[in-house]
Amino acid sequence: MFGRKSKSEKNAAPVKGQEEKKPFLGEVREAYRITKGVRPWITAAIAAIFLVVWVIGLFIGVAFGHPVYFGFISVPVALLAAMFFFTRQAASAAYVAIEGQPGAGASVLMAIRRGWVTTPAVNVSRNQDMVHRSVGRAGIVLVGEGGPGLRALLNDERRKTERFAPGVPVNEIIVGDNDGQVPLRKLQKAMKKYPKKLSANQMREVRARLRAVGGLNIPIPKGPMPKGLKVPKR
């Protein structure tokens, strides 16, 4: 009938809140592409680390009289060492690739796996100073990035936030490399340091209150964002 969806259409519809996951190999390729652009020597470094670890294992095998056995078991160890080096370099390169771009802080905040829901650009000035709002068990964190006019923008957003969510803890972070600021690469770590102040039900209520406030539609820098020591994801 007109206006009704077929069974196949219903099954094809995405589940609310479910994110489309990128295949693992696709994530690795994307991370490698970003890293290669920032550090052109990454391929040679990965190959060198693999060979060094494998040769060390081979020499140990010769010393113990089992070169074939140690040479064989050294392959996964060498792969692990090369992969660990790559993930560390990819994490660093991801920050370098987006650092200085408008919305870089929002990109890092939205890459946090769990515990925080971020609304980017809830307040923006003409000079592209902007404030992002994250809500979690620790309360509300306003993250600002920009120039000298950022403090007035943060104060304005704090007043608005406290009006919609009275009694909820509100913290502020300014992204930058100056005194009292948090570097972009340490932003996720700073967010995780806040102690939990709200229950799960209180957190959901705060999110519902602030959902109507919304934010602005700004372009967020694309690229893999580091999540711990695993291969960075978008």
Tell me the per-residue pLDDT of 184-205, one tens digit each, with 9 for 90 and over: 889 989 999 999 999 999 999 9
Query: What's the pLDDT score for residue 7?
Result: 46
Pairwise CA distance, residues 144 & 151, whole Å: 8
Examine the pLDDT at 212 and tell me if it is beyond 60. Answer: yes
Residue/partner pairs of 94-100 with CB below 8 Å, 24 or more apart = 94/31, 94/34, 94/35, 94/223, 94/224, 94/225, 94/226, 94/232, 95/184, 95/185, 95/226, 96/38, 97/34, 97/37, 97/38, 97/221, 97/223, 98/184, 98/221, 98/223, 99/184
Residues 6+ apart with CB under 8 A from 204: none
Least trusted range by pLDDT, from 20-34, 43-57, 76-90, 135-149: 20-34
Query: What's the pLDDT score for residue 232?
Result: 42
Examine the pLDDT at 12 and tell me if it is beyond 50. Answer: no
Query: What's the pLDDT score for residue 107?
Result: 85
On whether the pTM is more than 0.85, the answer is no
Query: What's the pLDDT score for residue 228?
Result: 43
Mean pLDDT, range 48-77, rounded to an integer = 91
Mean pLDDT, range 144-157, rounded to an integer = 90
In this structure, what are the phi and psi dihedrals at residue 62, rounded to the nearest 5 degrees? -65, -40
Query: What's the pLDDT score for residue 231?
Result: 39
- pLDDT tens-digit series, residues 14-43: 444 334 455 777 778 888 888 888 889 999
State the chain's mean pLDDT as an integer. Answer: 81
Query: What's the pLDDT score for residue 133?
Result: 93
> SS3 for the chain, per residue?
CCCCCCHHHHHHCCCCCCCCCCCHHHHHHHHHHHHHHHCCCHHHHHHHHHHHHHHHHHHHHHHHCCHHHHHHHHHHHHHHHHHHHHHHHHHHHHHHHHCCCCCHHHHHHCCCCCCEEEEEEEEECCCCCEEEEEEECCEEEEEEECCCCHHHHHHHHHHHHHHHCCCCCEEEEEECCCCCCECHHHHHHHHHCCCCCCCHHHHHHHHHHHHCCCCCCCCCCCCCECCCCCCCEC
- pLDDT tens-digit series, residues 86-110: 988 888 888 787 777 778 888 889 8
**More confident: 132 or 100:** 132
- Per the CB < 8 A criterion, the answer to whether 140 and 170 are in contact is yes
Instruction: Return the residue matching tokens 């609310």.
Output: 16
Mean pLDDT, range 215-233, rounded to an integer = 48
Query: What's the pLDDT score for residue 219?
Result: 52
Query: What's the pLDDT score for residue 190?
Result: 92
Q: What is the CA radius of gyration of the chain?
A: 23
